[in-house]
Structure 1
Amino acid sequence: MAYKQPVSVLVLIHTPELEVLLLERNDFADAWQSVTGSREGEEALSETARREVWEETGIDTREHTLRDWAYCSDFEIYARWRHRYAPGVTTNTEHVFSLTVVERPPVILAPGEHRRYCWVDWARAADMVFSPSNAEAIRLLPQRLGRGD
């Protein structure tokens, strides 16, 4: 088994009205999140973001506006998922992107990863996600888009 790289992306998919798409994990009941995933090989982080959005939602990023926030944070990898990383790796660096969709596109979930999805207002979305770094990024969304919400 190849280990995951401790370098990942977080992609906030949202409408212009700041409704945010959240996905519920299959392996962690009531754990809502934005699109996330680890870089593979030497792919550019923007390609990781595009690939993960496609794999997890079926949304084609070429039809929407993908923004690299040039912002990242480090977090401790949850113990339940450390076996996916090389021995001794406990920290991941997460790079944030956002994807603006003009209206809610059809969502096709990756059945092995997520069980359901919902669109919610950004403030509620920040309260729903289980990951502190995901919540922080969602709370920054209005500011990053130049909105005073």
Structure 2
Amino acid sequence: MPYKQPISALIVIYTPQLEVLLLERADYPDAWQSVTGSRDGEESLRETAIREVGEETGIAATRYALTDWQQQNVYDIYAKWVHRYPPGTTHNTEHVFGLEVPERLLVTLSPREHLSYQWLPWEAAAAKVFSPSNRAAILELPKRVIHV
């Protein structure tokens, strides 16, 4: 299996009521997160976000409002996953996106990646995720979403 690129997309999927979709990792039970994944080949970050949303949830991101938040987080790759990256790689650069869907959607999980999903109010979702950068993105949600 080829190495992952240390460039990824984090996609916070939410409803107009600021309910956030969280996924439970299959390789780290009880660890909850938003959709996230590494860039493949030379795809754009937007293409990465669209692909990852489809692979991890079955949601067609192109049908909804996908917004690049123009935010990057650089963090240490967790020791349990560093073997997935080229030797000597220690940091990942994560690009944050938001995807507004009209309501809680049914999700089709990829069983090799996730065990379950849930929709939670944004404050509860922020408290539940294991990643500090994911938590920070969810906490920003009310400032980023303006409904007229």
With the length of structure 2 as denominator, give the TM-score of the two structures: 0.97
Cα drift, residue 146 of structure 1: 3.5
Cα drift, residue 103 of structure 1: 1.1
- The CA deviation string for residues 44-83 of structure 1, in whole angstroms up to 9 with x for no partner, is 0000000000000000112111000011110000000000
What is the match of residue 50 of structure 1?
50
What is the match of residue 89 of structure 1?
89
What's the RMSD between the two structures over aligned residues? 0.9
Query: 2:27 aligned with 1:7, yes or no?
Result: no
Ranges of 4+ aligned residues in structure 1 off by more than 3 Å: none
Tell me the distance in 1 between the aligned counterparts of 2:101 and 2:12: 10
With the length of structure 1 as denominator, give the TM-score of the two structures: 0.96
What is the match of residue 138 of structure 1?
138
Q: Which amino acid aligns with 1:2?
A: P
Tell me the distance in 2 between the aligned counterparts of 1:89 and 1:8: 14
Tell me the distance in 1 between the aligned counterparts of 2:42 and 2:62: 21
Q: Percent sequence identity over matched residues?
A: 60
- The CA deviation string for residues 19-68 of structure 1, in whole angstroms up to 9 with x for no partner, is 00000001112100000000001100000000000000000112111000
Secondary structure of 1:3's aligned partner: coil
Q: Which runs of 5+ in 1 are unaligned?
A: none
Kindly tell me the number of residue pairs found equivalent between the two proteins.
Answer: 147
